[in-house]
Chains A and B, each alone.
Chain A
Amino acid sequence: MEFEYKSELPEDFQQLCDIFQVQPTAVVKSILDKISFPFFYSHINETGRWPTFLFLELLDENFDEKEMEFNEPYLERINDAVKANLRGGIGTPETKSKTEKAIRNVMREWHKNLAKARAKYLLDNLPNEDRLE
């Protein structure tokens, strides 16, 4: 999936990019690459988790109650995967990658089922005359 993003660079950000000669796009890319639930919840004591913290903070501020009920079981399954593999510790390289894989599977299923649920919601709420019989 590609996306194009146009925005005025905030002054402070632009200044930093100039001083350290960093491409703004490189900054954005480095953040985007690291936003990941599978990585975040399986690599508890590692660096590189800040971008996901940032994302979770954003979720916290724009909390959408509506779909939360649908999402809860998937979050619980992620938690189960973490508990089953890491058992409250930080894990070994093997258990970490096992956990990451398990979470990735949950995410895939979650995403797929949510897309279905949204499509169904749209269809069910069509005005009568537009409905395909």
Chain B
Amino acid sequence: MPLDFKIACVIYHLKPEKVLQTFINHVSFFMSLSTDYLRGFREATNTLAEFSFENINYSASPATAENRDFTIKCVRNVIEISKRNGISAEKKRKKCIPIVRQLNLSLNHQITKPKFYLDENTVLELCDDFRIRCEMLQHTPKEFLEYFMSKISLADRDARIALNKINENPALAFFELVTLGLGRNEDTTIVNGEAQQDFIDEYQTIKYELFIVRDLEEHRALMEQFYLKHYQELIKAI
């Protein structure tokens, strides 16, 4: 697990495995074939698409080899639903659920199992949508999750905001939705109050201290130092 991702989770009091599970749950086969926007689903689905654009597999997916006609039928049905007017994106997504289930059942799974072991003690459940995307794009869950995590760096985010060099980053956009409460319904109890207060105090001032640092690399490196320092204090206090 990349350090920057762990840092981001600690700063926002999130459990990494819960973030990853929420991410998996928001990958949507329907969204991959539609242009609608659905909070969370669009960002998660686009993260996978972005990775597969950068790492295209040209060969046909072996998972669909035996049931090609059925796969095509499912894709057609989903596209047909996605084009309907007068119903909400959420309703369309729900209408696609039975199709997605059937499609996943028909696949000859090559790279996914229903469960994904993050480590010995942590299991992630892979939903139908996520498995279909993995099988069709021919990337393992591990590849996708690693890509998602690799795109999340608070230091990079802050440096880009400060220097007005924001780039498109669906993984980060998804993470920010989680920090705002997506996929969470319990209240977070803050156990490391003092370290947390120190972090917030310094966070408020560092961006002004770094106003004169206009180089992206340099700005990012200084923010990395800042986050690392507070990460170490915060985990000590947990």
Contact = CB atoms under 8 A, between A and B. Distances in A.
A72 B208 contact: no
Interface string B190-206: 00000000000000010
Interface stretch (A9-17, A23-31, A74-82, A119-127): A74-82
Contacts, number: 27
B12 to A, nearest CB: 22
Contacts of B209: 44
Interface string B118-152: 00000000000000000000000000000000000
Q: Give the contact-size bracket for chain A.
A: 10 to 19
A32 interface: no
Given A65-B164, A68-B164, A56 B208 contact: yes
A76 B164 contact: no
Nearest to A82: B212
Interface in B169-224: 205, 207-209, 211-215, 218
Contacts of B213: 79
Contacts of A79: 212-214, 218
Contacts of A78: 212
25 contacts: A41-B212, A44-B209, A52-B208, A53-B205, A56-B208, A56-B211, A57-B208, A59-B211, A60-B207, A60-B208, A63-B164, A65-B164, A68-B164, A72-B214, A75-B211, A75-B212, A76-B212, A76-B214, A76-B215, A78-B212, A79-B212, A79-B213, A79-B214, A79-B218, A82-B212
